[in-house]
Structure 1
Amino acid sequence: MSNANKSTIWEFLQSLGKTFMLPVALLAFSGILLGVGSSFSSSAVKTAIPLLDNNGLQYLFMWMTKIGLVAFIFLPVMFAVAIPLGLAREEKGVAGFAGFVGYAAFNLAINFFLTVAGVLDNPTARAAYSVKNIIGIESIDTGILGAVIVGVIVARLHQRYYTFKMPDALAFFGGARFVPIISAIVLGVVGVFIPYIWPYFAAGINSIGHIIEKAGVFGPMLFGTGERLLLPVGLHHILVALIRFTEAGGTMDVCGQTVSGALNIFYSELSCPTTTAFTPEVTAFLSQGKMPAFLGGLPGTALAMYHCARPENRSKIKALLISGVVACVIGGITEPLEFLFLFVAPVLYLIHAILTGIGFMLMGMLNVTIGNTDGNLIDFLVFGVLQGTATKWYLVPLVAGIWFAVYYGVFKFAITRFNLKTPGREVDNTAVDEELQAVFVNESGKGAAVLAALGGKENITSLDNCITRLRLSVNDMNLVDDAKLKALGALGVVKLDKHSLQVVIGTQVHLVKNEMQAIISAS
């Protein structure tokens, strides 16, 4: 692989957003454990299902609840490790280890400042600095933002120093071993200055929270619409993390602890034995807002595209659409359906984004209280149905049904009225051949062809993937053959700037990426 181009802002932000997926995926799974464990151990469920009220099962549910807290309790340190791990091109294990070392040094340096300044012995000062126990260290609670700062700094240090050569007498400390050393030193210095500048960071995040709060019922709508609009360029993870994990998503006292971030608050309420109901203002930014579009609207879109396809092509696109609906409803992965119409009808995508935002707003206005992250059928069952009727889960099928009808009507009218070339409407059948059907089923063997369509291995300067897309940097964007990529089954090609692009493949994208990486590495 040739020397990498200088990182652009777009490339950096999309890469940073991609690194969030590792801790967020664990968080989603941990949330399911926490939801199942807490619901089946509640007195209401034990009364309704006496079979569950025995020691063996209750110990199991208690264990699930405890293990489910792992991602919630240690989320900042997970971000500090995951960011350098995800951004590193080589020596990823060292990068992750250095992330933990840097995070520990960062908090120890803050503790040094607080000790010297006499803050730790002054209850009023402790409260002013938001002192908490962070991985066993009394430090300022910088939350996810502090972890992101640490992760980015460590990632840059790793990129610069993992091949650093020391003098022969100190050669043992050179190369990859030098990365955690320099990370500890640099983050140790940064941590000393954090108490001086952190109030400004906190004020900025709080101002975002105040804007959302002042928006009232429109706050969740702005969030839901903004998240969809940022999705095509891969920056939605940053907005989502801001609301889920920082003061921008609200701050509350739960079980005697001050908790910030919509998802953090929800998990705290879920695990608190004295909590009898979830806070609607918090869950309004979580799973429930996605459910009208994910469980109703996008499946309606798929049916509209199927009915609008040419009769001779319907059998060829059926697998594509069904796979997209399954990914959306069961997994909460929407790109396979959204990218079918994003590029042929951007206005329809804008309408979809607005309707998604309205879904967020409506769920909040109806006081539905279903939390977690994905907005899929699993969240609906675990965090809605299993938590009892207080969540008002029974309103979700009603609203999703309405969204299904609205999406179906809008999309069918627009596709036929404006002759939009959604899948199956092309006269040339090559655009809907078996390769297109296989996008979500079997990507084996496509790596070489996709690599050739991207201009060959010499044109690739960086290669990675997220859930559904290849994320690349190339030397020459003119060598990228969009038409050939789409003929191979790509749902879309997003060019962020003259070097950075994303190729939307589908949920089996990792197979394509691994094949491409093997070809590149073999050179």
Structure 2
Amino acid sequence: MLPIAVFPAAALLMGIGYALEESGMENLYFMAMILQKTGNVIISQMPMIFAIGVAYELSDDKSGLAACNGLLCFLIITSLLSVSNVSFLEDTLRFRVDEAFGNINNQFIGILSGLLAAFSYRRKHVSTNYLPADFRVLVYTSIFAMLCSIVLYIVWPLIFTLLISIGTMIKDMGPLGAGIYAFLNRLLVPLGLHHMLNSIFWFDVIGINDIGNYWAGTGIRGVTGMYQAGYYPIMMFGVVAMALAMYQCCFITRKKKMKPFFVSSAIASFLTGVTEPLEFSFMFLSPLLYVMHALLTGISVFMAASLQYIAGFSFSAGAIDFVLASSLPMAVKPYMLFVQGGLFFVIYYVLFRLMIKKFDLCTPGRENDQNEPFQEGSIAAEDLNEMAKVIIEGCGGAENIIAIHSCITRLHITLKDQDKFVFKRIRQNGAAGYLKTKEEIQIVYGAHVDAIMDVLKNYQL
């Protein structure tokens, strides 16, 4: 959640900036530019923020070194696979280098870099007599980044070529092809490859140029814009309903904490069409839900294209773009997208609530155990001190503890000797359960785990 939490605010800044710019009030242009540029800096650097945030969150002890190595790994991969470097290496251009590697700076690479850096950081505890621990992490990160770049250099063009072939194949399928494109678009978001697919239909890679023709008024009315229009019901209504459903399905002890995230994500999606903050918060936790989201997006784009409800966009399918685009010559019954949006609001809300509850799916605010041992505000400072003391005793003393970090509702503790761990001692002080793995002990404490972690740091230091 750390890297995701900042994106809705950035999207709102951009949305307010665009609204001020379109107001026509010249004295607000400077403020509009500041808001747009500020939000755009954050959104455009989303991949880098993921690299830093994922590495930090998955490190043993929420380490700044791990975060720095996430950034290092990201910079190595994106630099080695930059268009200039790949063009130099590729003596015979068997594919379009600019298009294949022009979007290598994406969220997938950011998340992958964070994972590699966190994995490298965990090697810090592997003993060796030759290299200092921190330097060893740096070496591991660099090696993994280079190896990853080699693999991506081979694989990435193959994926791009495949996407070009798919785009060409569905180009002449009309509204059905538009729906298939939208479905694949959402499925590829986790990998960052949706930018490649978008370029095929939105721009002039194979002659469609849906966005350019819509705004220039040079396309075919009722056809031009069909690869865009169906996103409005999803981003302005479906994603809002999705956020509402997931919020209502949060565990009681997590609702207050998660409410600002869901509200800001919903507003950002409605106004600006930026959906990634909410999508990335659950796509890896509950892939089933995300596939359903992709399917509904495909259906929406297919419906709008079939019924010829047309409105394009320049940035994304949010309310701001809708106001600007619905009055253009290529627009056809754009108001009907609101009717379709209302339908998809109901569909999203009902399906998400039913699936989350029926299959007990993990979504933001449901990562922890339902039977949390404490309610909000029920632990006093002196109790936290006593809990920390008992935890250390139950782990065999401070000298037996290598590293401690917290994640959502659990303490993750790496021990020198796991045989010294006595859960019976810790359970008496409020622990709900524990999980022992080869590398660490995970103790479930609930919503107050971060507070416990803060006290433990003092004991550790």
Q: TM-score, normalised by structure 1?
A: 0.50
* Pair 1:28-2:8 in alignment: yes
Identify the residue that residue 104 of structure 2 maps to in structure 1: 142
Name which of 454, 458, 461 aligns with 1:518. Answer: 454
State the shift of 1:182 in Å. Answer: 5.1
Amino acid at match of 1:40: L
How far off its partner does 1:31 sit?
1.8
Provide Cα deviations, 1:245-280, integer angstroms capped at 9, x if missing partner.
32389322699798xxxxxxxxxx89x997997923
The CA deviation string for residues 458-481 of structure 1, in whole angstroms up to 9 with x for no partner, is 46975433xxx4255477898697
1:445 deviates by 3.5
Call closer, same or farther: CA 1:362–1:140 in 2, change over 3 Å. closer
Counterpart amino acid of 1:247? Answer: H
TM-aligned CA deviation for residue 59 of structure 1: 1.8
Across the aligned residues of Structure 1 and Structure 2, the Cα RMSD in angstroms comes to 6.4
CA contact (8 A) 1:84 1:99 kept: yes
Separation in 2, partners of 1:146, 1:397: 33
The sequence identity of aligned pairs, in percent, is 13
On the 8 A contact 2:77/2:145 being kept in 1, the answer is yes
- Asked whether the 8 Å contact 1:30–1:68 carries over to 2, the reply is yes
Matched residue, 1:251: 198
Structure 1 residue 381 displacement after superposition: 6.6
Alpha-carbon distance change, 57 to 70 in structure 1, aligned in 2, over 3 angstroms: same
Among 106, 117, 120, the residue aligned to 2:89: 117
Contact 1:108 1:188 in 2 (8 A): no
TM-superposition CA deviations, 1:323-371 (whole Å, max 9, x none): 98787556659xxxxxxxxxxxxxxx9x999997887567543569899
Residue 99 of structure 1: how far off its partner (Å): 2.7
Question: How many residues of Structure 1 are paired with residues of Structure 2 in the alignment?
Answer: 382
Q: 1:186 and 1:58, CA in 2 relative to 1: closer, same or farther beyond 3 A?
A: same
Residue 382 of structure 1 deviates from its aligned partner by 6.2
Question: Structure 1's 91 and 140: CA in aligned 2 closer, same or farther, altered over 3 A?
Answer: same
Amino acid paired to 1:25:
A
Kindly indicate whether residue 48 of structure 2 is the aligned counterpart of residue 99 of structure 1.
Answer: no
1:54-93 C-alpha deviation (Å, 9 max, x unpaired): 1x30121122222222234333333333332222234722
Alignment of 1:168-317 (within 5 A): 174-177=132-135, 179-180=137-138, 183-184=141-142, 186-188=144-146, 190-192=148-150, 194-200=152-158, 241-242=190-191, 245-247=192-194, 250-252=197-199, 279-280=228-229, 286=235, 288-295=237-244
Query: What are the within-5 Å matches in structure 2 for residues 337-348 of structure 1?
Result: none
TM-score, normalized by length of structure 2? 0.55
Looking at structure 1, the residues matched to 147 and 345 of structure 2 have their Cα atoms a distance apart, in angstroms, of 56
Secondary structure (helix, strand or coil) at the match of 1:464 reads strand
**Correspondence 1:38 to 2:1:** no
Say whether 1:154 aligns with 2:134: no
State which of 97, 117, 127 in structure 2 corresponds to 1:129: 97
* Residues in 2 aligned to 1:257 and 1:164: alpha-carbon distance in whole angstroms: 55
Kindly indicate whether the alpha-carbon contact (under 8 Å) linking 2:183 and 2:294 is maintained by their aligned counterparts in 1.
Answer: yes
Partner of 1:135: none
Contact 2:53–2:67 (CA under 8 A) maintained in structure 1 = yes
SS at match of 2:53: helix
Please say if residues 56 and 67 of structure 2, whose CA atoms lie closer than 8 Å, have aligned partners that are also in contact: yes
Kept after mapping to 2: 8 A contact 1:105/1:184: yes
CA distance in structure 2 between the aligned counterparts of 1:403 and 1:58, rounded to whole angstroms:
39
The 5 A counterparts of 1:314-333 are 328-329=262-263
Distance (whole Å) between structure 2 residues aligned to residue 288 and residue 84 of structure 1: 33
Native 8 Å contact 2:52 2:114 kept in 1: yes
**Contact 2:180–2:298 (CA<8 Å) still a contact in 1?**
yes
Pick closer, same or farther for the CA change 1:497–1:103 going to 2, 3 Å: closer
Unaligned runs of 5+ in 1: 1-17, 47-51, 133-138, 227-238, 259-268, 303-316, 334-348, 374-378, 416-430, 487-492
Q: 1:127 to 1:75 in 2, by over 3 A?
A: farther
Residues 405 and 412 of structure 2 are in contact (CA less than 8 Å); yes or no, is this contact kept in structure 1?
yes
Instruction: Give the C-alpha shift of residue 517 in structure 1.
Output: 0.6
Distance 1:372 1:33 in 2: 14
In structure 2, the CA distance between the partners of 1:240 and 1:473, relative to structure 1 (3 Å rule), is farther
Amino acid at match of 1:80: A
Q: Is the 8 A contact 1:290 1:360 kept in 2?
A: no
Unaligned runs of 5+ in 2: 206-210, 218-223, 268-285, 359-369, 396-400
Which amino acid in structure 1 is aligned with residue 149 of structure 2?
G
Q: Residues 118 and 196 from structure 1, CA distance in 2 versus in 1: closer, same or farther, beyond 3 angstroms?
A: closer
Instruction: For 2:314 and 2:422, locate their aligned partners in 1 and report how far apart those are by CA, in whole Å.
Output: 42
Distance 1:68 1:211, change over 3 A: farther
